[in-house]
Structure 1
Amino acid sequence: MGSPLSPAIANFFMEDFEEKALRTAKLRPRYFFRYVDDTFIVWPHGPAALNEFLEHMNSVHPNIRFTMEKEDNGQLPFLDILIKKREDGTLSHSVYRKPTHTDLYLNGESHHHPSQKRSVLSTLLHRAKTISDAENLEKELEHLKTTFRRNGHGERDINLALKRTFEKPERMKEKNPSPEPASRQGVAFAEQRRRYLHERLFLQLLKIVIFANRLAAASSNSSTPSPCLS
């Protein structure tokens, strides 16, 4: 699992890396988006220059290597999004599933806790709502409802999940006006405190790293040995 600081430090490194790489590139992409270690770019300079850009990205750091996947038939998967180019040049987006995907999820007739089974439905519906554009949303919802039925989920649970996902928050609050339990408030406060402590720890670690780098640079540039205590 690693340290909670690892993703933040990795992002700092990649931000510095891509800033240097794009600054020194002969040609730059029109758009450059990165999520962790996956990058999506729009390249307007032709396929030959694209291969040169890939070689340039792989030459910036000896331990960073990129692979490339180009659009095929006007479409390209990125993470769990399928991006398609329309005839007018705009882009549409829908949920992407790999060819090996089986649509098998936690079965509705299993002996898991009902909240766990409800979370399967809510998570997939939320993903459909977030990723799919207007022209692809209805098709995705029909696919999910068929998938839920095949996985043993009843119509009542499916309809409740749809209402939870697509009803406005104001209407849900009107139906559930009860205040948040004190136990949940305590959990939320504990989570905020944990994040605050992690941020403080990261800042202290960052200061130590910067100080160590400056000390090492000063020692290497000095012609006389540094004094020490014995």
Structure 2
Amino acid sequence: MANSLSAVMVCLFMEVLEMDRYITIMGRGTTWLRYVDEIIVAIPKGTSVENKLRRLNTVNKDIQFTVELEKEGKLPFLYTLLYRGSEQVSFSVYRKPINRDNFIHYFSAHSGRVKTSVLIGFFLRTFRICRKRLLEDELAHIKNTFKKLKYPGGLAFFSSRHVQDNTSYRQAQHRCTYNLSPHTLNHNLAHCHHIQSGRHLRLLNKTHTVWWIKASKVTSFDKLPNKGQSGIDLE
């Protein structure tokens, strides 16, 4: 039987490797962000990806990395497709090539509540992830997909409006939370030029004390809030 602490211990082990070896191997000027076993890395131009990959795979023989490079300014990560522009990164929903859009049919035996919840879930993901210029294409894809599954057009419209009118959606549009440790902050985000107005950072120290930092523009990450301090504004 698996120990209930296994997942926690694995994450702690990976964090130690990242702090002691991986981030050092990647070098300065690199952004390293990991979620469980998925990692996205931004490296300076001219860096040898093959050399970095070889060095990463020599750290632990049981942890072997593979790499997927950006193609035509696009890179998938956690079912999100990132578009690299000249000034910012845009996001859309990513679907694997084997995706068939085979979901619950409208004439199946599932209850109406279940079918409505499926639609709402797809629209909620779309509104949370997609930038405005990519939003219409994704909405059209959802409507066409469920039209083929015999869902009434009115139900799709109702579900879309329900998500847009939902309070949590409106708050999500104006507030983005980043969960960071002081180590991550110093090693990764020191290279960020700015954080948009209204965005938030949530910093966690070793005792899991939570700090909220509301930043209109962050130009320096040298000063962290003192222990017990509830919040600090960075100009």
TM-score where L is the length of structure 1? 0.66
C-alpha RMSD over aligned residues: 2.1
SS in 2 for 1:25: helix
Counterparts of 1:56 and 1:35, CA distance in 2: 21
SS in 1 for 2:107: coil
* % identical equivalent positions: 32
Which residue is equivalent to 1:95? 93
Cα deviation for residue 14 of structure 1 reads 1.4
Q: For the Cα contact (< 8 Å) 1:77–1:96, is it kept in 2?
A: yes
Cα deviation for residue 2 of structure 1 reads 5.1
Which residue is equivalent to 1:176? none
Counterparts of 1:2 and 1:121, CA distance in 2: 36
Counterparts of 2:31 and 2:148, CA distance in 1: 41
Runs of 4+ in 1 over 6 A off after TM superposition: none
Q: For the Cα contact (< 8 Å) 2:92–2:131, is it kept in 1?
A: yes
Which residue is equivalent to 2:82? 83
Give structure 1 stretches of 5+ with no counterpart: 171-230
Tell me which amino acid in the other structure corresponds to 2:20. Answer: K
Tell me which amino acid in the other structure corresponds to 1:7. Answer: A
Matched, 1:165 2:163: yes
SS in 1 for 2:55: helix
What is the number of equivalent residue pairs in this alignment? Answer: 168
Counterparts of 1:140 and 1:99, CA distance in 2: 16
Which residue is equivalent to 2:42? 42
Higher helix share: 1
Q: For the Cα contact (< 8 Å) 1:76–1:83, is it kept in 2?
A: yes
Tell me which amino acid in the other structure corresponds to 1:71. Answer: E
TM-score where L is the length of structure 2? 0.65
Higher strand share: 2
Match of 2:137 among 139, 143, 165: 139
SS in 2 for 1:121: helix
Q: For the Cα contact (< 8 Å) 1:29–1:41, is it kept in 2?
A: no
State which structure, 1 or 2, has the greater radius of gyration over its C-alpha atoms: 1
Give structure 2 stretches of 5+ with no counterpart: 169-235
